[in-house]
Every structure is written in structure tokens, then in C-alpha cells.
Amino acid sequence: MLGLLGPNGAGKTTAVRILATLLKPDRGSARVAGFDVVREPAQVRARIGLAGQYAAVDENLSGSENLEMVGRLYHLGRGASRQRAWELLDDFDLAEAGKRLVRTYSGGMRRRLDLAAALVARPPILFLDEPTTGLDLRSRITLWDALESLVTEGTTVLLTTQYLDEADRLSHRIAVVDHGVVIAEGAPDELKRRVGGERLEIRLADGSVAPTAVGALAALGDGAPSALDGLVSMPVSGGGTVADAVRALDAAGIAIGDIATRQPTLDDVFLTLTGRAAVDAQEESE
Amino acid sequence: MSAAGYELSDTWVLASRSVKRIARQPDLLVGYTIQPIMFVLLFVYVFGGAISTPGYSYVDYLIPGILVQSIVFGGFATALGLSDDLKKGLMDRFRSLPMSRSAVLTGRTFADISTNTIQLVVMLAVGLAVGFRFTTEIPAILGGIALLLLIGYAFSWVFAFIGLTASSPEAANAFGFTILFPVTFVSSAFVPVESMPSWLQPVAEHNPFTTMVDAIRHLFIDAPVGNDVWLAALWSVAIAVVFGALAILRYRRVASR
């Protein structure tokens, strides 16, 4: 599984749409399963499943009718389509709701049905465009479990996400994209090492002394501290650092508003890789 | 299966999807049946007394006109449905499947034929109940029904184009009614063209709706016509071909946004 990680507007969806033959690239070429997406779209379509940012299911059909329709459009035949539909409803814990109209489904159920629809033809390659955006944690975990077992069974998955934890948990490799360009690529651990793992964050009582604080803390972390709007942040490892930092700042006569350690987020990856916050990239693109 | 076989089966699968949806959206069923019935009752009992139609009772004059108007709007579900599929991302799903491209449109327009047939049956029943009587033989009546279905099919393609052009289902609704509605009224559908102001008469006279309504009047109540029956069929085929081509072009463009 390859995770495509980036903020809104980074070009993740565009990349997926080109690979799924929905969009023609302005230039360049791409091959999926060995077939050119522009010249051999039919061969590509027969080998892929796509689940986009919206739950692309028909609200006025039941769950089983939706999956059967997709099966028949993959030309699986009537009987096989029906059988496959119920198999998938079972797999995704939707069998009980299979005969109900989709408009009575919850958001999480719709997403699961949408993912099931992408799997109808057992495609060797699956494109998932932010499959868990807007879902609650429980639904996200259910989806993650389903994806993990798919990958174990040998499906190649390209997943786009705005969440580092999601890419981290599911992907074997992660590509970070910004402005349509891959700015970093590697295994999740490699990438996190570059970001610096755990971070110490100190909210200063007075933001104007940030440069002094950065100087006082320079020797303590695993990397250089950075400051943004009175928030000083630096990569750390080990538990003693918080106490060390408090002492160092106290000695320098700097008052602390708040101090905490936390896991790296997409913002940190971005800050480290591009020197600016992910929010900026989002605003620029809008 | 051959490519043509897949094309037919894809169209069939999507047409049955559309038909299933309609029974489950009661508001659409109201549009198909109750609304035209209201029109018949309003025109026969409210306006009818004030409109003079020399040579015919008003109900005999009105029913062919109102049948054409309702069947023209019968394809409306296609505009709403396509617009909705675009908005909800279903269009992307269809386009990522190894299915026939055109089936998304042909499925919809074929589904309209079945709903148009239901609508036609309901309206004829109501027409007969309020006093409409055929004065022609069975072959002419059947020919009239076939022509009505052909007209309905042609306008399904107009609505397909509207559905793919409008930015939302609500906009498709406004689009359809503000453009098509007045056009159906400036015709011989509800009042004789001769009763309109002289500057408007040529417009109404050349309105294809007038040709279509006159053709149905000829086939149902033996009103005199020139070539209106053939002209009406020709108009329908031309509208289907032109808007079919426009809708397919539009589909290619819109779907690859």
C-alpha cells in the first residue's frame, strides 16, 4: 500500500483521477497494471476499483441493489453479481441492512458500502481517495481493518489521506505531495525520523522572547528548535527533556505558558519538509 | 458477449435502476401524475368556459394539447437524476467501470419511456373521465400514442442536456421550467392560435409544439392538418439527434472535470 499524503489542494485527488482514467493528464504519462491510462483506459478500468471522497452510492437503491448494479456493470452476470453483493455485505458488516434503502444508512455505513462497491470485481488495484475523511474514529478503525486484510490478501492499494496516523498505520510507503509534486518518499519510519518523532512544544507567556528561548533550548533536543507565533517546537526523545527544558528556560528568565510533548502530525512533516505550515498550502490553493 | 450486447445490457441495468428509483421517490410520482391531472381539471373547469374553440368542445381540444405538454416534461426525471449523479460522485464511479460510456445517458432516457407510458395511461383515463372522446379509428389512435412516446423520448435528451449543464438539481429544475414552460404555452396546446395578438401568432404558428399538438389532434379527434403528423415526427427525431449529440458532448466534458 502506498500512502499519498498532503494537504487539501496538493494534487492528491487529481493524481487519483488521472490514474483511474477519469481525467486526462495535460502532459506526461502513467501506467496502471502495465496499461497506459490514456491509450488503454478500458484495460485499466477492468483492473481497478475506485472509492472517492464522496460515498458514490445510490440512495434510492438498497445496499444489495447498489452492489448488484456495480457487479452487472463489471459484466459479472446476474447470478454472480447477486452472490458477490451479499458476500461483500457480510464482509463489511452490512448484511442486516442489505435490503434497506441506502438513504437510511449512517455516514459510516455508506462509506463501507462505497468501499465494498470498489471491491465488487476483486480488482488487483484499488484507489482510495481520502476514504475516512469526515468519519468518526470507530468507523475509521473498521475501514482500516478492512483495508489491512485486503492488502494481506495481495491487493495493491493507493490511499490518499490528510492524516499522518492513517498513512502511518496502513502504508508500506508514503509519498508526501505538495503543489502537485512529490516532496518526500519513503517508509513511514524513515519519514518520521526525518520529521523527528516526538516533539516538545512550549507555549511562551510572551511571544517576543522566542529567539532567546530557541537559543536556551538549542542543546537539549534531537534537532534545532523552531518558533512560530510564540510556540517553540523541537524534536525530542526520552522523558527527561521536559524537566530540562523548564530548567533551561527558567535560568534564562523566560516564563512558560504551557509545555507538552506530542506525536508528529502532518503539520510537522510539512513544516520540516517545506519550511511552512500545511495550513498555508491549503490557503494558497483555495 | 459482444460490445453491442454489453451496450444493451449496461443500458438495461441502468434503466431498471432509474425505474426502481422513481417508485421510491414519491415526490417524482406526484410530478408524473398528480400535476398533469391538476392541469386537466384546472383547464377544463376553470379556464375552459372562457376559451372558445370553434368546432370542438374545449375538453376535446385540450386533452391532445395537455398530453403533449405533459409528455414533453416527462423526461424531467432524467435532468434531475443526471444532475444528482454528478453531484453525488456516482458519475465518477460509472466512469471508472469497464462499462459502456453512453449507457449512463441511454439508460436514463429509456427509463423515461416506461414512466411516460404510465403517465399517458393516467392522463388518458382522467381525460376520458372528464368527457374527452376519440373520434378516430384504432390505428390513428395507436399512431398518436406512438407519436407521443416519440416526442417524450426526444425531450428526454433535451433534459439530459439540461441535467448535465445545470450546476445542481435545483438549477436544472429552474432551467427546465423557465425555458420550456413558456414555450409550451405559446402554442396551440391550450388556446387556438387565432385568439392570440397578431404579433404573437407567427411565433405560435411556427412553434414545433403547435405542430406536435396539431398532429395529435388530427390522430385523436380528426382535426384537419397538412403535413403536421410527419413534421411532428421529423421534429422529434431532429430534437433527439441534436440534443442527443449535445448531451453526449456535454457528458464527456462534464464528467472529466
Q: Does the beta carbon of B94 lie under 8 angstroms from any beta carbon of chain A? A: yes
CATH number of the structural domain A2-189: 3.40.50.300
Domain ranges within chain B, ordered by starting residue = 3-255
> A72 to chain B: which residues are within 8 Å by CB?
9-10, 13
Cell reading at B65 = 394539447
The runs of H, that is alpha helices, within chain B are 3-24, 26-32, 34-42, 58-73, 76-88, 90-96, 103-129, 138-165, 169-185, 201-206, 208-221, 228-255
The per-residue pLDDT for range A63-113, each reduced to its tens digit, is 999 999 999 999 998 999 999 999 999 988 899 999 999 999 988 888 889
User: What's the distance, CA B90 to chain centroid?
Assistant: 25
> B82 to chain A: which residues are within 8 Å by CB?
none
Contact partners, residue B185, CB within 8 Å, separation at least 6: none
Per-residue pLDDT band for A278 (boundaries 50, 70, 90) equals: low
> B9 to chain A: which residues are within 8 Å by CB?
72, 75
The per-residue pLDDT for range A172-229, each reduced to its tens digit, is 888 888 888 888 888 887 777 776 667 788 888 888 888 888 888 887 777 778 888 8
CB contact under 8 A, A42 and B98: yes
Q: Does the beta carbon of A125 lie under 8 angstroms from any beta carbon of chain B? A: no
Q: Which of A41-45, A264-268, B109-113, B149-153 tops mean pLDDT?
A: B149-153
The closest of B189, B204, B247, B208 to B66, measured between CA atoms, is: B189
Partner A, chain B 3-42, Cβ-Cβ below 8 Å: 6, 9-10, 13-14, 17, 20-21, 24-25
- Residue A258 in 3-state DSSP? strand
Q: From the CA of B96, how many Å to the nearest CA of chain A?
A: 6
Output the CA torsion sign for A82, A84, A86, A92: negative
Q: Does the beta carbon of A69 lie under 8 angstroms from any beta carbon of chain B? A: yes
CB contact under 8 A, A74 and B99: yes
Q: Does domain A193-285 have CATH number 3.30.70?
A: yes
CB contact under 8 A, A56 and B17: no
> B89 to chain A: which residues are within 8 Å by CB?
52-56
Per-residue pLDDT band for A274 (boundaries 50, 70, 90) equals: low
One fold for A2-189 and A193-285: no
> B94 to chain A: which residues are within 8 Å by CB?
73
Domain ranges within chain A, ordered by starting residue = 2-189, 193-285
> A59 to chain B: which residues are within 8 Å by CB?
88
The per-residue pLDDT for range A130-145, each reduced to its tens digit, is 888 777 888 788 888 8
CB contact under 8 A, B96 and A117: no
Q: Does the beta carbon of A58 lie under 8 angstroms from any beta carbon of chain B? A: yes
Please give the Cα distance from A53 to A20 (Å, whole number).
14
Please give the Cα distance from A83 to B26 (Å, whole number).
30
Q: Compute the CA torsion angle A227, A228, A230, A233 (nearest 10 deg).
A: -50
**CA dist A46 → A84, A86, A281, B12 (Å):** 17, 21, 35, 20
The per-residue pLDDT for range B212-252, each reduced to its tens digit, is 999 999 999 988 877 888 999 999 999 999 999 999 888 88
pTM, whole model, 2 decimals?
A: 0.78
